[in-house]
Structure 1
Amino acid sequence: MDSHELIACASARAEELPGSARENPFGPEWDVYKVRGRVFLLIPLDGTGRVTLKSHPDDAVALRETFADIVPGYHMNKKHWITLMPGPSLEPDLVAELVTESYLLVVEKLPRARRPVDPALFGRA
């Protein structure tokens, strides 16, 4: 997956999520996706094509060990954030799933009244 595909895939999934909003709090060089004011996805528009998102600490370790293109979160807490780099080990379905999981990690920490979805049921058949 090249840098344009990675950014397009992550952005498209983030845009689909209920209550998701794209902002530029750090200037026009960064697209930051939030749900109810809390960050779940960061995309620097510097040409690197990387995407940074939240991950459960245990999942973050497993993902980094399994996929060569997943590294510790760039400029973020390395325990709770991962960065996806353009490369052959990433597929669109995986990127969409990781964006969704990042979103749900943030939603489950919100007060119930502010949650746009029930994180236990969202996306389940």
Structure 2
Amino acid sequence: MPYPWIDAYCLSKKGVVKDYKEEWEATRYQVGGKMFAMQGGDKEGNPIFTLKLPPDFGRFLRQQYPDIVPGYYMNKEHWNSLFLQGAVPDDLVREMIDKAYETVLRSLPKRVQRDIEEG
């Protein structure tokens, strides 16, 4: 599968916790108890990676890449799904992960942000 580095890259970020949600059949990546990314599949079993992104950035990506679509089973304004069998460049996927992580980290209370960044 393309992007074999996704798991390690997400886990390399400060304060990230990974778990598996059985009901969703998906691996979730969280910071401060809030999810920023999820790896699972669509109803046909196609592997997808879903990330929380700033709305303008997500819309821009969806216009540029047919393999990036509104979040599968998620809020379409903030969440975007990437078909993992697609052809989105690795550098852009890393940028998407970085933005998703930062988006969620910056939404946390300042004290929690500080604890994570110093942790």
Query: Would you call these one fold, judging by a TM-score over 0.5?
Result: yes
The yes-or-no answer on 1:51 pairing with 2:49 is yes
Point out where structure 2 has 5 or more consecutive residues left out of the alignment.
none
Q: How far apart are 1:15 and its partner, in Å? A: 0.9
Q: Report the count of equivalent residues.
A: 113
Letter in 1 for 2:100: S
Letter in 1 for 2:8: A
- The SS at the match of 1:117 is helix
Provide runs of 4+ in structure 1 moved above 4 Å. none
Relative to its length, the structure with more strand (as a share) is 2
Percent identity reads 33
Point out where structure 1 has 5 or more consecutive residues left out of the alignment.
119-125
Relative to its length, the structure with more helix (as a share) is 2
CA distance in 1, matches of 2:46, 2:76: 19
Q: How far apart are 1:27 and its partner, in Å? A: 4.8
The yes-or-no answer on 1:5 pairing with 2:24 is no
- The SS at the match of 1:101 is helix
What are the within-5 Å matches in structure 2 for residues 1-125 of structure 1? Answer: 4-6=1-3, 8-27=4-23, 29-44=25-40, 47-85=45-83, 86-88=85-87, 90-115=88-113, 116-117=116-117
Q: TM-score, normalised by structure 2?
A: 0.86
Q: How far apart are 1:97 and its partner, in Å? A: 1.1
RMSD: 1.9
Q: TM-score, normalised by structure 1?
A: 0.82
